Amino acid sequence: MSQVFILLDGDELTSAGAELATFGARIGSVTAIVCSAKSDAVVASAATLPIEKLIVVDGIDFAKSSLRSVSNVLAELVKRDAPSALLISSSARGKEIAARVAVRTESGIVTDAIDINDALETTQSIFGGSYTVTSKVTQGTSIVTLRSNCIEVASVTSSASVERFDGALLADTQVTITSSEPAQKSARPSLAEASIIVSGGRGTDGNFTLIEQFADAIGAAVGASRPVIDSGWYPHAYQVGQTGKTVSPQCYIACGISGAIQHKAGMQTAKTIVAINKDPEAPFFEIADFGIVGDLFTVLESAIASLK
């Protein structure tokens, strides 16, 4: 049975990590690599995932160590065990680490995949979702970064074996991080991992009160189109689109967003798309599964009232 590495990247098990384990189990026997100061907690929470082995890396902390340190460790382990695939989540850090490991191990890489099958064929949705590309790495280990919200997480009872790996000697000596502070966490789910996103566009006129209330009522994250960011109505971290975040939630609710190609490029792989727009000709309706022609404030107010 082929061996698949996944990187569990943080101090807690994220839904993105759980998805990697589920994808990995399709391909073969999953070994999860944990680089965290809180590795015991990550190991404990991995017991519900289809993971057969955990390699706990001592001396390297994903949250605090430089990308080179994490890449050095992964490259060393890939060279040692020659797994058929290494799966990493498609965050900016994840993609940079994947690229570095690919170079060091002379392996092929596919980024931003939305699927991978047991024959290691990956699927990508590109050019704003207008093309679906299937590809397969032909050299070395298949190094693949996968977007979040692309597979239903398998829940199992597993008892993975644990190996401790000393990563201290592989730590980056050229750059040391002198201090780091986690960004203030909002009570809402993060854009990258949320299964529902409520996004507001220029049609909000900068008033996100109802967008936020509606998002909170349904446990969703808040997103925004670029004019919202450019006008200073919402921080850049919330921008969805070509020059913002790429998201793939179960449901994307666009409120007062016209549906320009650059916005759709960041969300077109959402499973269900809902558009609320007062203009019946708005391009968003062309890709929406459900469309509401109307004033977003009236629609959201009545939706919130019904939910209450």
Q: Shortest Cβ contact with ligand FAD: which residue?
A: 241
Type of residue numbered 211: I
Q: Binding to ligand FAD by residue 128, rule CB under 6 A? A: no
Shortest spacing between CB 63 and ligand FAD, in angstroms: 27
| Shortest Å, Cβ 213 to ligand FAD | 16
Q: Which residues contact 288 (CB under 8 A, 6 or more apart)?
A: 254, 273, 274, 275
Q: Is residue 207 within the footprint of ligand FAD (CB under 6 A)?
A: no
Please identify which residue in 7, 78, 198, 226 interacts with ligand FAD, judged by CB under 6 A.
226
Closer to ligand FAD by Cβ: residue 64 or 278: 278
- State yes or no: residue 257 binds ligand FAD (CB under 6 A): yes
Task: Kindly tell me the sign of the dihedral angle through the C-alpha atoms of 243, 17, 221, 125.
Answer: positive
Shortest Cβ distance from residue 257 to ligand FAD (Å)? Answer: 4
In this chain, which of 225, 246, 248, 269 binds ligand FAD, going by CB under 6 A? 225
User: Rounded distance, CA 20 to CA 146, Å?
Assistant: 8
- Under the binding rule (CB under 6 A), the answer on residue 199 touching ligand FAD is no
Beta strand 272-277 pairing with 251-255: parallel
CB of 114 to ligand FAD, least distance (A): 19
How many other CB atoms are there within 10 angstroms of residue 284's CB atom? 23
Residue placing its CB nearer to ligand FAD in the complex, 50 or 266: 266
**Please, what is the minimum distance in Å from the beta carbon of residue 44 to ligand FAD?**
38
Q: How many residues bind ligand FAD (CB under 6 A)?
A: 27
For ligand FAD, the closer of residues 100 and 245 by Cβ is 245
- What is the separation, in whole angstroms, between the first and last Cα of the chain? 51
Binding site for ligand FAD (CB under 6 A): 201-203, 225-227, 239-244, 256-258, 260, 262-263, 266, 276-279, 282, 295-297
